[in-house]
Structure 1
């Protein structure tokens, strides 16, 4: 795979996604009232939570695909088997695909049942000022979209594993174009929340169709056997060993970032929920774009682990981290200088006050920074950060609820709770862990 092409398409993909989100944002702000906007962000937060039924399978499958693609002879529950053959291990890749396909079918079925029952009750319980019929129709399409997204979620894991970000980002480009076009038409015609939910559904369908075609093409080009392998319980057992740990980390990350939107909707109101969720959405985009270079090179870091190329691995890690820091700072400045004035012009008083927004930005920066180092650690197929993540996340939620119940801090209290807890351990521990393991320090990294 051409890595320069991958990097270019990653920037194109994220750039187009960012541009389309920027184009979609004013349309949504203009055509949805504050209650609808707040409820839509609740939809997204609930969807993010339910998507965690993946429970760490996706990153673990992607990691094992990287190993098999680099020529690893077999898989281990912990650690890495060095590559002894030249080229990919087609038999192992095929086994991973068969196991993933079966696994994600049952996961998606579970998700749909969970959403259509408990999810429906929750959404109806917080809906006060909106048409119940409109909300239910919107929610049903959102449930179906979530089912489809998880059913074929292993597509993304496979292409990330082989480092084919070109296919992933072409699919994202297609799906985002479909989403913004259908959203604009539906909102203009007056379908409100339903238009946004239906467009989200269509976006997922087009994304999965494109990746499905790309996967079949990859199989033909690399002479995958026509006859499907049988389901290998041993491979599933190896995947599960660290997947549940990755799942704990995913739940923890949700509690750290996305659960705040749910707490806002329960303790404050949908209008303030919309303001907070909008800020998090924008800062998440900034974090994601800042991490593009690292994300693109993560399979290369995994391959360097397999081939034991220490010097190259350390240089690449240093470069990706430096680019993340510079990118985040520059885009944050751009948000305050250009982004906020534009948003305020489109919909006044929808953004958080500058001091709170800056505090949330600092919190998100530290969270994305530790995620970078944690992702790097995971390329070793060892996950020492699992339980510290869970303890910190649970502690942050408990403290946030206490502050909401007994103080008037509101959103400040929610963010402050997680900020303090994360700063006590995770924010500094995992960068330090990597520096120590790699025998590097701040001077050598920046040099």
Structure 2
């Protein structure tokens, strides 16, 4: 069996998604005091909240971008029977779709900001030991801000997939995870 570049990037993508949080958890328990390492484990569990904010949007984005790239001249709320298909891409429709996708993710990010960043600062300040309260609050502000930035740009993966650039979406995620790891 010949392994293609796309398959290699796909495996690397999944490996980074699974492996990097475990490495961070291992390193935090090895090099940080137990109280701070435990807080970082809770930080890592908050990543799943970002996934919940994106729940259901990615497949819809992939589908709609694929429709437009395939020649759809309009999009409908339900079904595909009323979609007009031509042999050319409707660039105004694609532009509008990308604008709407960016706006949706921006609104989601604003909501997530209040829930995750503001609520998280209060929560982590409340549960942290007295001697590291400020350090935990500042760490959470930095970490959660990175989570929000990740959410703002999370739309790239389904858009690239919808454009047929699956390998590019894998690469974007791998490089994003590696940068996140080092920050």
Which TM-score applies when normalising by structure 1? Answer: 0.35
Q: Distance in 2 between matches of 1:70 and 1:157?
A: 16
Question: Partners in 1 of 2:69 and 2:149 — Cα distance?
Answer: 27
Report SS of the residue matched to 1:11. helix
Deviation at 1:159, TM superposition (A): 1.1
Equivalent positions of 1:35-434 (< 5 A) are: 35-49=35-49, 52-54=52-54, 56-81=56-81, 84-86=85-87, 88-128=89-129, 131-180=132-181, 182=182, 199=183
| Cα distance in 2 for residues equivalent to 1:177 and 1:54 | 21
| RMSD (Å), alpha carbons | 2.9
* In 1: Cα distance, 2:20 partner to 2:53 partner: 28
Instruction: Indicate the larger mover: 101-110 or 136-145.
Output: 101-110
**Distance between the aligned counterparts of 1:148 and 1:176, measured in 2?**
13
Distance 1:162 1:178, change over 3 A: same
Distance in 1, matches of 2:115 and 2:29, equals 30
CA distance in 1: counterparts of 2:18 and 2:119, whole angstroms? 32
> Cα deviations across residues 151-189 of structure 1 (Å, max 9, x unaligned)?
222222211222312222222332333344x3xxxxxxx
Q: Distance in 2 between matches of 1:147 and 1:176?
A: 14
Structure 1 portions without partners, runs of 5+ = 183-198, 200-447
CA deviation after TM superposition for structure 1 residue 140, in Å: 0.7
Deviation at 1:122, TM superposition (A): 1.6
Is contact 2:74–2:93 with CA below 8 Å preserved after alignment?
Answer: yes
Measured at CA, do residues 139 and 26 of structure 1 come closer, stay the same or move farther in structure 2, by a change above 3 Å?
Answer: closer
Structure 2: runs of 5+ lacking an equivalent: none
Aligned length: 179
Are the equivalent residues in 2 in contact too, given 1:70–1:89 (CA < 8 A)?
A: no
Deviation at 1:99, TM superposition (A): 0.9
Compared with structure 1, are the counterparts of its residues 58 and 130 closer, same or farther at alpha carbon in structure 2 (3 Å cutoff)?
farther
Q: CA deviation at 1:96?
A: 0.8
The C-alpha deviation readout for 1:258-288, integer Å capped at 9, x for no partner, is xxxxxxxxxxxxxxxxxxxxxxxxxxxxxxx
Distance 1:116 1:17, change over 3 A: closer
Shift of 1:21: 5.2
- Would the aligned equivalents of 2:50 and 2:151 in 1 still touch at CA under 8 Å? no
Q: Could you tell me how far 1:63 is from its partner in structure 2?
A: 1.9
Contact 1:35 1:130 (C-alpha < 8 Å) held by counterparts: no
Question: Secondary structure of the residue that 1:131 maps to in structure 2?
Answer: helix
1:231-278 Cα distance to aligned partner (Å, 9 max, x none): xxxxxxxxxxxxxxxxxxxxxxxxxxxxxxxxxxxxxxxxxxxxxxxx
Larger radius of gyration: 1
Please show how residues 3-14 of structure 1 align to structure 2 within 5 Å. Answer: 5-14=5-14
